[in-house]
Amino acid sequence: MAQKDTPGRRSASRRHANEPRNHKRKGKGEKLAPPARRPADCSSPLAENEELLYGIHTVREALNNPARRILRAFATKNALSKLQEDFRTAGISPEVVLPKELTRRLGADAVHQGVLLLAEPLPEQTLAEVAGEDGPLLLLDQITDPHNIGAILRSAAAFCVSGVIITRRHAPAAATGVLAKAASGALEHVPLVRVTNLARAMAELRQDFGYTLWGLDSDGEAVLDCATEVPERIALVLGAEGKGLRLKVRETCDAILRLDMPGAIRSLNVSNAAAIALFALHQGRLRDGEA
């Protein structure tokens, strides 16, 4: 079983897409003042401090996140009809484009659903900041697939995870559009924290913040399920599919657990394993709270 290859302090200030410096945001129900527009060209190269967000759910959550500084917005007429209230509440007038313009910018494989934001990355949080929260933590050991990380973030948001910790190397270099789309808006709710050395970060979580660290692997000595007694401060560690947890990371865990699977296939995609493990932790805490 490969339980493997599997934001944060919010700033209230941002200038919205297409707003000049003296632009005043309108109240609900009022018409937005026409913004100073550049041509509706969404194909310009990205700068270092820019990222692309696309898809209805991803864009809706970004529009409703006060920490997300949006630079430009593009939408088809159909997508705009679905997100009109979200754009109005955010004080943003998107540039109306044809679907083919977004496809040309993002590629034929991107399911953009007719909407695209050009935005600044969210402010990065530190390990200490997320460790001070109440929810569990997820640590990902050299997981490189943005689809898997995005799916893990989605499950993390569903189960009130305080942060997902990844390494600076052997991980997506930025919150790519693919990752954000797979996360379906969760990137706006769960901090993605980058550390240089995962084993060192694990030791810091144990020594400075009192976390218990459970690695997830198919050959774990104990089963993680809804009957498992869950420590108050818990962090799950998941490794890349195929390679699993690296030796130093594995040795730094307090225990290695497995998911009990009675079927012929004994391994899961890491994002599926993460979702099941988080459900088990949640149910275990509910049971302990009722006891």
Tokens of 230: 């869950």
Predicted pLDDT at 43:
74
Q: Which residues of 243-280 are buried (b: 16+ CB within 10 A; e: fewer)?
A: ebbbeebbebbeebbbbeeeeeeebbbbbbbbbbbbeb
Band of the pLDDT at 137, cuts 50, 70, 90? Answer: very high
Q: Residue 38: what pLDDT?
A: 47
Q: Can you say whether the dihedral through the CA atoms of 122, 128, 167, 161 is positive or negative?
A: negative
Reply yes or no on whether the pLDDT at 179 is more than 60: yes
pLDDT tens-digit readout, 238-289: 998 777 899 999 999 999 999 998 888 878 899 999 999 999 999 998 887 7
List, for residues 122-135, the tens digit of each pLDDT value: 998 999 999 999 99
What's the whole-number mean pLDDT along residues 204-222?
Answer: 95
Asked whether the beta carbons of 256 and 221 are under 8 A apart, the reply is: yes
What pLDDT shows up at residue 264?
A: 85
Query: pLDDT (tens digit, 9 = 90+) per residue, 49-103?
Result: 889 999 999 999 999 999 999 999 999 999 999 999 999 999 999 999 999 999 9
* pTM score of the predicted model: 0.82
CATH of 127-290, one of 3.40.1280.10, 3.40.190.290, 3.30.428.10, 3.20.20.140: 3.40.1280.10
HSE at residue 259, side-chain half, CA atoms within 13 A, is 25
